[in-house]
């Protein structure tokens, strides 16, 4: 049996992860960008790849796509190493980059004729239907498109290849909130309609909150969390006390004997706050010492706490 990705469509184990990174490192001279990144994306799921700008997300995606070489570690697509025939794997992937680069003199109609020869599964009727759905003029020069229109065109092209996996690298960067929400709705609806696995990279947790099945959080080139959004949010809680009542080492009540770890510890707006992570979930109705209160946390707060500790 061949070990190249070209054989994956026939021989790959259907139970294999679509994307698998194992202890991946990437350095440019003395600069370490990825320092042991590991993650697993399973067939049919929406995977949110979260991290601050500069955390290594785009570098990881370029290595997945075979654009950048790995310094150390391994990457598999559809059960086969990217060190094999990466072109065959890319033909099974729809890719929407952070920045769209099209020939400005081309129209979408001309563009489809140019690229369809590279994709054996290209569906021209699907491309035309999506142009209509996304309200993109087929005969207007792409150079006259807005940023949001270009992002929709990139998604149209990606979906027209009938991908088994859709990779999105910060696709909503620069969009206003209305355009971003519209784009995300289109991604969720159309990709699920095509039963494609989605790998969505972003630093905006709102982008994937409603659509992700699992997430991976990367900070300083490493995976600091992988799993569901709900279990993560339920494991973290924030407590605060007025600065006048706080004493160093003071823990808000019954947590002194638990295995809770401190994610954040500091003073803001006259109150000292502690963000704690509990291995078995935060207590629903904790017993708090005098002056302490539990504060509401958004998923963005949870994300910031996780990356702040890792950083």
The string of DSSP codes covering 229-273 is HHHHHHTEEEEEEETTT--TT---SGGGGS--EEEEEEEETTEEE
Alpha carbons 81 and 123: distance in angstroms, whole number? 27
Residue 265: other Cβ atoms inside 10 A: 12
Alpha carbons 213 and 227: distance in angstroms, whole number? 8
- pLDDT at position 12: 41
Task: Report all structural domains of the chain as residue ranges with CATH numbers, in order of start.
Answer: 41-68+87-226 (3.40.50.300), 231-310 (no CATH)
Report H helices in 119-276.
Answer: 124-133, 147-160, 177-193, 205-209, 229-234
Residue 91 contacts residue 162 (beta carbons within 8 Å): no
- pLDDT at position 138: 95
3-state secondary structure of 103: coil
SS3 letters across 25-44: EEEECCEEEEEEEEEEECCC
φ, ψ for residue 238, nearest 5 deg: -120, 135
- pLDDT at position 72: 92
Q: Which residue has the tokens 């935060």?
A: 282
3-state secondary structure of 4: coil
Sheet with 165-169, strands from edge to edge, namely 93-96, 165-169, 197-202, 46-50, 214-219, 222-227
Ordered per-residue pLDDT tens for the chain, 311 residues:
333 223 333 334 456 799 999 999 999 988 999 999 999 999 989 999 999 888 889 999 999 988 899 999 999 999 888 887 777 888 889 888 877 789 999 999 999 999 988 888 899 999 999 999 889 999 999 999 988 888 889 989 998 998 899 999 888 777 778 878 877 887 777 667 777 899 999 888 888 887 888 999 999 889 999 999 899 999 999 999 999 888 877 777 667 556 778 888 888 888 999 898 988 888 888 888 888 999 999 888 999 899 887 66
- pLDDT at position 80: 86
- pLDDT at position 15: 67
């Amino acid at each position: 049996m061949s070990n190249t990705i070209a054989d994956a469509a026939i021989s790959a184990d259907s139970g294999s992860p679509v994307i698998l990174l194992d202890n991946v490192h990437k350095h440019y001279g003395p600069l370490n960008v990825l320092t042991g990144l590991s993650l697993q994306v399973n067939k049919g799921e929406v995977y949110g790849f979260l991290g601050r700008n500069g955390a290594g997300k785009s570098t990881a995606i370029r290595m997945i796509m075979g654009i950048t070489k790995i310094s150390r570690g391994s990457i598999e697509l559809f059960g086969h190493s990217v060190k094999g025939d990466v072109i065959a794997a890319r033909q099974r992937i729809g890719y929407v980059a952070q920045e769209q680069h099209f020939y400005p003199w081309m129209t979408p109609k001309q563009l489809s004729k140019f690229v369809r020869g590279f994709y054996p599964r290209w569906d021209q009727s699907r491309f035309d239907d999506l142009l209509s759905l996304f309200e993109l003029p087929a005969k207007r020069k792409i150079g006259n498109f807005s940023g949001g229109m270009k992002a929709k065109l990139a998604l149209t092209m990606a979906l027209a290849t009938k991908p088994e996996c859709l990779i999105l690298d910060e696709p909503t960067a620069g969009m206003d909130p209305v355009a971003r929400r519209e784009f995300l709705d289109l991604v969720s609806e159309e990709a699920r309609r095509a039963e494609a696995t989605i790998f969505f990279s972003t630093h905006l947790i709102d982008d994937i909150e409603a659509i992700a099945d699992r997430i991976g959080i990367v900070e300083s080139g490493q995976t600091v969390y992988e799993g569901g959004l709900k279990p993560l949010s339920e494991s973290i809680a924030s407590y605060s006390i007025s600065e006048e009542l706080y004493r160093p080492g003071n823990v808000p009540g019954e947590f002194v004997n638990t295995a809770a770890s401190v994610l954040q510890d500091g003073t803001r707006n006259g109150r000292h706050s502690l963000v704690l992570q509990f291995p078995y979930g935060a207590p629903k109705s904790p017993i708090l010492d005098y002056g302490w209160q539990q504060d509401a946390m958004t998923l963005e707060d949870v994300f910031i706490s996780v990356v702040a500790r890792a950083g």
